[in-house]
Chains A and B, each alone.
Chain A
Protein backbone atom coordinates (compact mmCIF):
# COMPACT_ATOMS: atom_id res chain seq x y z
CA UNK A 1 0.00 0.00 0.00
CA UNK A 2 1.35 3.40 -0.99
CA UNK A 3 1.80 5.70 2.00
CA UNK A 4 3.07 9.25 2.25
CA UNK A 5 3.44 10.62 5.77
CA UNK A 6 4.36 14.26 6.31
CA UNK A 7 5.93 15.62 9.47
CA UNK A 8 7.65 18.75 10.72
CA UNK A 9 4.77 21.20 10.61
CA UNK A 10 4.08 23.69 13.37
CA UNK A 11 3.91 27.33 14.44
CA UNK A 12 6.73 29.62 13.37
CA UNK A 13 7.25 33.38 13.51
CA UNK A 14 7.48 35.48 10.34
CA UNK A 15 11.00 35.31 8.97
CA UNK A 16 11.57 31.94 10.60
CA UNK A 17 12.39 28.54 9.15
CA UNK A 18 10.87 25.09 9.15
CA UNK A 19 11.71 21.79 7.47
CA UNK A 20 8.98 19.45 6.32
CA UNK A 21 9.64 15.76 5.74
CA UNK A 22 7.65 13.15 3.86
CA UNK A 23 8.27 9.45 4.49
CA UNK A 24 7.28 7.29 1.53
CA UNK A 25 6.53 3.58 1.57
CA UNK A 26 4.77 0.94 -0.49
CA UNK A 27 6.42 1.85 -3.80
CA UNK A 28 9.87 2.33 -5.35
CA UNK A 29 10.40 5.92 -4.27
CA UNK A 30 13.46 6.52 -6.44
CA UNK A 31 11.49 5.99 -9.66
CA UNK A 32 8.91 8.74 -9.10
CA UNK A 33 9.06 12.51 -9.30
CA UNK A 34 7.58 14.09 -6.20
CA UNK A 35 5.78 17.30 -5.41
CA UNK A 36 4.64 19.59 -2.62
CA UNK A 37 1.16 21.13 -2.90
CA UNK A 38 -0.28 23.48 -0.30
CA UNK A 39 -3.72 24.67 0.75
CA UNK A 40 -4.21 27.86 2.75
CA UNK A 41 -7.08 27.85 5.26
CA UNK A 42 -10.39 27.90 3.38
CA UNK A 43 -8.63 28.23 0.03
CA UNK A 44 -7.89 26.08 -2.99
CA UNK A 45 -4.90 23.97 -3.92
CA UNK A 46 -1.60 25.56 -4.96
CA UNK A 47 1.32 23.64 -6.47
CA UNK A 48 4.53 24.59 -4.64
CA UNK A 49 7.45 22.55 -5.92
CA UNK A 50 8.52 19.49 -7.89
CA UNK A 51 11.65 17.33 -7.93
CA UNK A 52 12.72 14.72 -10.45
CA UNK A 53 13.74 11.18 -9.58
CA UNK A 54 17.46 11.85 -9.25
CA UNK A 55 17.08 15.47 -8.03
CA UNK A 56 18.44 16.75 -11.34
CA UNK A 57 15.42 18.93 -11.95
CA UNK A 58 13.71 21.13 -9.37
CA UNK A 59 10.84 23.50 -10.04
CA UNK A 60 9.18 26.12 -7.86
CA UNK A 61 6.10 28.30 -7.90
CA UNK A 62 7.00 31.99 -8.24
CA UNK A 63 5.45 32.63 -4.82
CA UNK A 64 8.09 30.51 -3.06
CA UNK A 65 11.12 30.78 -5.32
CA UNK A 66 14.28 31.66 -3.39
CA UNK A 67 12.72 30.86 0.00
CA UNK A 68 11.63 27.21 -0.19
CA UNK A 69 13.93 24.39 -1.26
CA UNK A 70 12.84 20.90 -2.25
CA UNK A 71 15.13 17.90 -1.83
CA UNK A 72 14.97 14.13 -1.54
CA UNK A 73 16.95 11.21 -0.19
CA UNK A 74 16.21 8.11 -2.22
CA UNK A 75 18.18 5.91 0.18
CA UNK A 76 15.84 7.00 2.98
CA UNK A 77 12.67 7.09 0.83
CA UNK A 78 12.14 10.65 1.96
CA UNK A 79 11.12 13.99 0.49
CA UNK A 80 11.87 17.33 2.15
CA UNK A 81 10.87 20.96 1.96
CA UNK A 82 13.18 23.47 3.62
CA UNK A 83 11.18 26.62 4.28
CA UNK A 84 13.09 29.86 5.02
CA UNK A 85 12.05 33.50 5.36
CA UNK A 86 8.51 32.38 6.07
CA UNK A 87 5.62 34.80 5.63
CA UNK A 88 2.07 34.87 6.91
CA UNK A 89 0.88 33.91 3.41
CA UNK A 90 2.82 30.62 3.67
CA UNK A 91 0.33 29.46 6.31
CA UNK A 92 -1.22 26.32 4.86
CA UNK A 93 -1.48 22.56 4.95
CA UNK A 94 1.40 21.15 2.90
CA UNK A 95 0.80 17.89 1.03
CA UNK A 96 3.45 15.50 -0.23
CA UNK A 97 2.29 14.13 -3.59
CA UNK A 98 3.54 11.35 -5.84
CA UNK A 99 3.78 12.15 -9.53
CA UNK A 100 3.01 9.44 -12.08
CA UNK A 101 2.58 12.18 -14.73
CA UNK A 102 -0.50 12.86 -12.63
CA UNK A 103 -0.77 13.35 -8.88
CA UNK A 104 -1.98 9.91 -7.87
CA UNK A 105 -1.13 9.67 -4.16
CA UNK A 106 -1.35 12.38 -1.52
CA UNK A 107 -0.22 12.42 2.09
CA UNK A 108 -2.47 13.56 4.93
CA UNK A 109 -0.74 16.94 5.06
CA UNK A 110 1.40 18.90 7.50
CA UNK A 111 0.02 22.13 8.93
CA UNK A 112 2.30 25.17 8.90
CA UNK A 113 1.24 28.36 10.67
CA UNK A 114 3.29 31.52 10.32
CA UNK A 115 2.29 34.01 12.98
CA UNK A 116 3.85 36.25 15.58
Chain B
Protein backbone atom coordinates (compact mmCIF):
# COMPACT_ATOMS: atom_id res chain seq x y z
CA UNK B 1 0.00 0.00 0.00
CA UNK B 2 1.15 3.53 -0.75
CA UNK B 3 1.88 5.61 2.33
CA UNK B 4 1.55 9.39 2.12
CA UNK B 5 3.62 11.38 4.60
CA UNK B 6 2.98 15.07 5.15
CA UNK B 7 5.20 17.57 6.92
CA UNK B 8 4.91 19.52 9.01
CA UNK B 9 1.83 18.22 10.80
CA UNK B 10 1.19 21.67 12.23
CA UNK B 11 2.05 25.12 10.96
CA UNK B 12 1.51 28.57 12.48
CA UNK B 13 1.80 31.37 9.96
CA UNK B 14 1.61 35.16 10.14
CA UNK B 15 -1.07 36.68 7.93
CA UNK B 16 0.41 37.76 4.62
CA UNK B 17 3.38 35.42 4.93
CA UNK B 18 3.98 32.32 2.79
CA UNK B 19 3.39 28.74 3.85
CA UNK B 20 4.56 25.44 2.43
CA UNK B 21 3.46 21.85 3.04
CA UNK B 22 5.36 18.80 1.89
CA UNK B 23 3.85 15.46 0.88
CA UNK B 24 5.95 12.40 0.16
CA UNK B 25 4.73 9.08 -1.19
CA UNK B 26 6.27 5.68 -0.54
CA UNK B 27 6.35 4.97 -4.27
CA UNK B 28 6.16 6.89 -7.51
CA UNK B 29 2.76 8.36 -8.28
CA UNK B 30 3.25 8.38 -12.04
CA UNK B 31 0.51 6.22 -13.54
CA UNK B 32 0.88 4.10 -16.66
CA UNK B 33 -0.79 6.88 -18.66
CA UNK B 34 2.01 9.26 -17.68
CA UNK B 35 -0.23 11.33 -15.39
CA UNK B 36 0.56 11.88 -11.71
CA UNK B 37 -2.62 11.63 -9.66
CA UNK B 38 -1.69 13.74 -6.67
CA UNK B 39 -4.32 16.09 -5.24
CA UNK B 40 -4.63 18.57 -2.39
CA UNK B 41 -7.67 19.31 -0.23
CA UNK B 42 -8.52 21.91 2.39
CA UNK B 43 -10.92 21.27 5.24
CA UNK B 44 -12.16 24.06 7.46
CA UNK B 45 -13.49 23.17 10.92
CA UNK B 46 -16.95 21.65 10.70
CA UNK B 47 -16.94 21.57 6.90
CA UNK B 48 -16.46 18.98 4.19
CA UNK B 49 -13.09 18.86 2.43
CA UNK B 50 -12.69 21.01 -0.65
CA UNK B 51 -10.51 20.20 -3.66
CA UNK B 52 -7.73 22.76 -4.13
CA UNK B 53 -5.25 21.21 -6.54
CA UNK B 54 -5.54 18.20 -8.81
CA UNK B 55 -2.92 16.28 -10.79
CA UNK B 56 -0.06 17.98 -8.93
CA UNK B 57 -0.45 21.57 -10.11
CA UNK B 58 -3.94 22.32 -11.46
CA UNK B 59 -6.06 24.66 -9.37
CA UNK B 60 -9.71 23.70 -9.10
CA UNK B 61 -12.34 26.20 -10.19
CA UNK B 62 -12.56 29.17 -7.85
CA UNK B 63 -9.35 28.41 -5.97
CA UNK B 64 -7.33 31.61 -5.45
CA UNK B 65 -4.06 31.84 -7.33
CA UNK B 66 -2.12 32.23 -4.07
CA UNK B 67 -2.36 28.43 -3.91
CA UNK B 68 0.07 26.44 -6.04
CA UNK B 69 1.11 22.83 -6.28
CA UNK B 70 4.33 21.34 -7.56
CA UNK B 71 6.45 18.21 -7.50
CA UNK B 72 7.00 14.95 -9.27
CA UNK B 73 7.52 11.26 -8.64
CA UNK B 74 7.34 10.92 -4.88
CA UNK B 75 7.86 14.49 -3.62
CA UNK B 76 5.17 17.15 -3.75
CA UNK B 77 4.56 20.59 -2.28
CA UNK B 78 1.59 22.85 -1.68
CA UNK B 79 2.45 26.52 -1.33
CA UNK B 80 0.36 29.45 -0.17
CA UNK B 81 2.03 32.66 -1.31
CA UNK B 82 0.35 34.93 1.24
CA UNK B 83 -1.73 33.33 3.96
CA UNK B 84 -5.15 34.82 4.60
CA UNK B 85 -7.42 34.25 7.60
CA UNK B 86 -9.74 31.98 5.57
CA UNK B 87 -6.84 29.61 4.87
CA UNK B 88 -6.85 28.14 8.38
CA UNK B 89 -7.80 24.50 8.64
CA UNK B 90 -6.33 21.16 7.69
CA UNK B 91 -4.68 20.40 4.38
CA UNK B 92 -4.52 16.88 3.00
CA UNK B 93 -2.63 15.43 0.08
CA UNK B 94 -4.12 12.38 -1.60
CA UNK B 95 -2.83 9.98 -4.21
CA UNK B 96 -5.14 8.29 -6.71
CA UNK B 97 -2.53 6.41 -8.71
CA UNK B 98 -2.40 3.21 -6.64
CA UNK B 99 -5.90 2.94 -5.18
CA UNK B 100 -6.53 5.99 -2.98
CA UNK B 101 -4.60 7.18 0.06
CA UNK B 102 -4.63 10.40 2.08
CA UNK B 103 -1.82 12.00 3.99
CA UNK B 104 -2.22 12.53 7.76
CA UNK B 105 -3.14 16.18 7.31
CA UNK B 106 -1.37 19.44 8.16
CA UNK B 107 -3.09 21.86 10.49
CA UNK B 108 -2.56 25.50 9.51
CA UNK B 109 -3.16 28.21 12.09
CA UNK B 110 -2.62 31.94 12.08
CA UNK B 111 -0.16 33.37 14.60
Binds A, one of B18-26, B47-55, B72-80: B47-55
A106 close to B50 (CB less than 8 A): yes
Interface of A is mostly: strand
- Is A88 an interface position by the 8 A CB rule? no
Asked if A106 meets B55 with Cβ closer than 8 Å, knowing A59-B99, A101-B96, the reply is no
Contact of B37 among A101, A105, A108 (CB under 8 A): A101
Contact of A47 among B51, B102, B104, B105 (CB under 8 A): B102
B48 close to A109 (CB less than 8 A): yes
Complexed CA–CA distance, A35 and B100 (Å): 10
A103 close to B41 (CB less than 8 A): yes
Complexed CA–CA distance, A102 and B51 (Å): 8
Complexed CA–CA distance, A104 and B94 (Å): 12
A104 close to B51 (CB less than 8 A): yes
Could you say which residues of chain A place their CB within 8 Å of the CB of B99? 47, 59
- How many positions in chain A have a CB within 8 Å of any CB in the partner chain? 19
B48 close to A102 (CB less than 8 A): no
Could you say which residues of chain A place their CB within 8 Å of the CB of B90? 44
- 11 other A-B residue contacts (CB within 8 Å) besides A101-B55, A102-B55: A44-B92, A44-B103, A45-B92, A45-B102, A47-B100, A62-B1, A95-B48, A101-B54, A103-B41, A106-B50, A109-B48
Q: Which residues of A contact B (CB under 8 A)?
A: 35, 37, 44-47, 50, 59, 62, 95, 101-109
Q: List 28 A-B contacts (CB under 8 A).
A: A35-B100, A37-B49, A44-B90, A44-B92, A44-B102, A44-B103, A44-B104, A45-B41, A45-B105, A46-B102, A47-B99, A47-B100, A47-B101, A59-B99, A101-B37, A101-B55, A101-B96, A102-B39, A102-B54, A102-B55, A102-B96, A103-B49, A103-B94, A103-B96, A104-B54, A106-B48, A108-B48, A109-B48
